[in-house]
Structure 1
Amino acid sequence: MKNKISNTVKRGVVYVRVSSLEQTQGTSLEGQKEACLAYARRQEIEIPESAIFIERGESATAADRTELIKALEYCRIHNGRITAFIVWKIDRFARNKTDHFALTSQLAKYGIRLHSVTEQIGDDPIGSMLEGMLASYAQFENDIRKQRCEGGMQRKIEQGIWPWHPPLGYIHAKKLTDRRKNRPDEPDPDRFYHVQRALKTYATGKYAAVEVCRMMNEWGFRTKTGLPMRKQLMEKMLREPFYAGVLVNPWTGEKYKGQHVPMISWEEYEQIQAIKQELSRHLNRPRLILNPDFPLRRFVICPLCNGKLTGSWHKGRNKRHAYYHCHTKGCPNKDKGILKDDLEDKFVERLLEVSPREEFLAAFEEIVLDVWRSRKVTFKQDRVKFEEEIKKLETRKERLLQMRMNGEITPEEFANHKNSIDNQITGIKISQNESHTDELDMETVVTYGTEFIRNVAKQWQEMNAKQRQRLQKLVYPEGISYDKTAGSYGTAVLSPVFTLNRTFTGNKSSLVAGAGIAPATSRLCIPLRFSPPL
């Protein structure tokens, strides 16, 4: 096998990078390097001194990524002897999703897996999902496209057309030649009847899911991949309202009548859910990490033990009451409840206290835009330079291919030189993509972001639980403690924008444009509940 590891010793590469000149002169690079090396020691990964690559770029948007290219070259040269590519954080590796997966694909050629010191990513489904989410976190423009796309998909659902692949028993109505899906999904003649029969059989209440699953296999049922029915898939089908002719909007939870042919009636679907609930009512179910009733759960900190508060409902004489409480064993505050309404009302008051002042927002917006405009010229110059470099490398690839066709070089030599050129192109394309940030409508971005944080307390009150937790972390990234005895929140670390607001003296010179103004300022535009003007 090409990428087979020659021995049992795990070896890796460390790549660290900062996005500003100030950080290169501080401790950021050294801190990243030490954290990466410490991670490697914990994972028993050997890191040679020659396998440590430090990118000392003055700007994340204008960096040539020469060290990244060297790191990729090192991986190519040591193909089969390196298993890990270690970074401090995903956004140090690549700033957008496209670049991220281009790089991981390049590493995969050499049998190398990406490791993040500060983020739990891996090859398992959850790790892969988290890696994808982290890779796309800073992509403001992609977030805007996603919002528009979601709007189009929601309109399709409202029209009764499911915009994605339908569940088992139906054929996807969108053909390869179709640009959009404009027709309802059609029954699959090979599977529709079997699935319908199985659902109706379960709805009688006489058979468990595993028995219905066995029946389907006896009927000769096979999935689209030719596999027999299994219990996990059967359980998923039993929960699917699509079979009852109902489409559920995944963003709002609202239900719409589908245009497709249903397999069962809504009454039969509800009967299936009632049967499932009855069968599972005695099972121990895991507690929700995101409980919509307690948005401050796992965020507010106990001042005595530094444990995170949890939340629960308690049955009173006439009604149920909601409390937050510390659940740490041995803590004096253990199980001493704080009324949910009291804790959340005081959190809203705290958000009002830290909300930015109007004079700060005006000065901040003006400074950000001034810095942005001054950098646009540099972005354009960089883009032209990157385009020229890519053209030269593509020309080298064409000459290399011609040499191989003429028999001047062996297949191994061709593959080796081609991979080397591909590494350089990958690194330059990342820089090229980042240089396109000058096309962003920064005026709209900053206006949108400042309008959002201007009313941060009101925004929190109007959001759902998931959005509230994201906003809480934006304001207090490390959480905030609450003293039940004093009945007040303690001092907590604020995120940079809110910290600047507190130290602002009214003079613009007191605001210093920190690292990441371009393009990281787009993170002000939190895609939580409304879109910026188009």
Structure 2
Amino acid sequence: FFSSSVSSFGQQANLEVRTIQGSRSSGTGRRYPYYLCQNRSCSEKGKSVAKDKVEEQFETLLRLVQPDEATFSIADAIFRDAWDRRESWAKKEIARLRARTTQIDVESSNLLDRSARTQNDIVATAYEAKVGELQSEKAKIEAEIERMTFPARTFDEMFELAMQFLSNPYELWRKPSYTLKRMVLRLVFCHPLKFDRIDGVRTGETTLPFKALAYLKGGDLKMVPPERLELPTP
């Protein structure tokens, strides 16, 4: 599994990053999985390291990425607040746009009445052109309303699984599925992790959600009043 996710770069910093390969050896009636570097320019080429050692180090790293309960509670409150504010803003904006479509219907109806009553073809054509413009505006507004319409489901219904993962990515990693393990790596880390046979698994750059959690953990945001957590204007 780690052959596609952990890289070996030897002891020298200027050596090219290469993928390490996984294999198995047999002995005493058992098979022992291991990794080894095949980079010809690496001083550790051909030297193996036990699979369990690599994965134990990775699991330790993954547990460090996991936020503590206090940090996650703050993040959960911020996400919910942002969701509620966005929902409130969207409802107000949709109401304003729908009021405009009602106004357009009234204006269009009045213009059509005038067009039907006038004896001047030029004026009638102008009225009809204006109606066409209004209907075009209405179509754009209706498309905007559809785009802005908020899901009928609640925050928990929408993001329950995502929040569970953010709170404990290690729990998903423990499941006996290589597909899920690869998913954890992609969702937690920006790039393939690097492994050095001497120093072990190197700390990798995390994805934005986990960077945000690390920021919350490092910052004193407990004292920030709710009114300061403003949602940016879309």
Partner of 2:186: 473
Give 1:301's aligned residue. 7
Q: Which residue of 2 aligns with 1:496?
A: 208
Tell me the equivalent position of 1:355: 66
Name whichever of 373-382 and 458-467 sits farther off: 373-382
Q: Quick one: which amino acid aligns to residue 335 of structure 1?
A: G
Q: Distance in 2 between matches of 1:344 and 1:302?
A: 14
The AA in structure 2 aligned to 1:454 is S
- 1:366 positional shift: 0.9
AA of the residue aligned to 2:18? G
Q: For residue 198 of structure 1, what is the aligned residue in structure 2? A: none
Give the alignment of 1:40-439 within 5 angstroms: 294=1, 296-304=2-10, 305-316=16-27, 318-384=29-95, 385=97, 388=101, 429=143, 431-439=144-152
Measured in 2, the distance between the counterparts of 1:490 and 1:347 equals 9
Deviation sequence 1:223-257 (CA, Å, 0-9, x none): xxxxxxxxxxxxxxxxxxxxxxxxxxxxxxxxxxx
Give 1:507's aligned residue. 221
For the residue of structure 2 that corresponds to 1:320, the secondary structure is strand
- Give the match for residue 452 of structure 1: 165
Q: Kindly indicate whether residue 196 of structure 2 is the aligned counterpart of residue 483 of structure 1.
A: yes
* Distance of 2:231 and 2:194 partners within structure 1: 29
Does the residue aligned with 1:297 lie in a helix, a strand or coil? helix
1:57-111 Cα offsets, whole Å, 9 max, x none, are xxxxxxxxxxxxxxxxxxxxxxxxxxxxxxxxxxxxxxxxxxxxxxxxxxxxxxx
Q: Which has the higher contact order (CA 8 A, sep 6+)?
A: 2
Q: Report SS of the residue matched to 2:205.
A: coil
Match of 1:440 in 2: 153
1:463 shift after superposition: 4.2
Does the aligned pair in 2 maintain the 1:365–1:447 contact within 8 Å?
no
**What is the Cα deviation at residue 485 of structure 1?**
0.8
Contact 1:322/1:339 (8 A) holds in 2:
yes
2:69 aligned partner, one-letter code? E
How many angstroms apart in 2 are the aligned matches of 1:351 and 1:484? 19
Largest Rg, 1 or 2 = 2
Aligned equivalent of 1:177? none
Residues 379, 490 of structure 1: alpha-carbon distance in 2 compared, 3 angstrom cutoff: same
Task: Tell me which amino acid in the other structure corresponds to 2:183.
Answer: R
Distance change >3 Å, CA 506–CA 466, structure 1 → 2: same
Percent identity among equivalent residues?
18
Q: Deviations over 1:156-214 (max 9, x none)?
A: xxxxxxxxxxxxxxxxxxxxxxxxxxxxxxxxxxxxxxxxxxxxxxxxxxxxxxxxxxx
Contact 1:355 1:457 in 2 (8 A): yes
Which TM-score applies when normalising by structure 1? 0.31
With the length of structure 2 as denominator, give the TM-score of the two structures.
Answer: 0.66
Cα distance in 1 between the residues matched to 2:179 and 2:230: 29
Separation (CA, whole Å) in 1 of partners of 2:31 and 2:44: 22
Structure with greater helix percent:
2
Q: Secondary structure at the match of 1:473?
A: helix
Could you tell me how far 1:467 is from its partner in structure 2?
A: 1.0
Structure 1: any 5+ residue segments left out of the alignment? 1-293, 396-420, 519-534
Aligned-residue Cα RMSD (Å) equals: 3.7
Deviations 1:93-147 (A, max 9, x none): xxxxxxxxxxxxxxxxxxxxxxxxxxxxxxxxxxxxxxxxxxxxxxxxxxxxxxx
Contact (CA 8 Å) 1:368, 1:513: kept in 2 or not? no
Query: What runs of 5+ residues in structure 2 fail to find an aligned partner?
Result: 11-15, 109-134
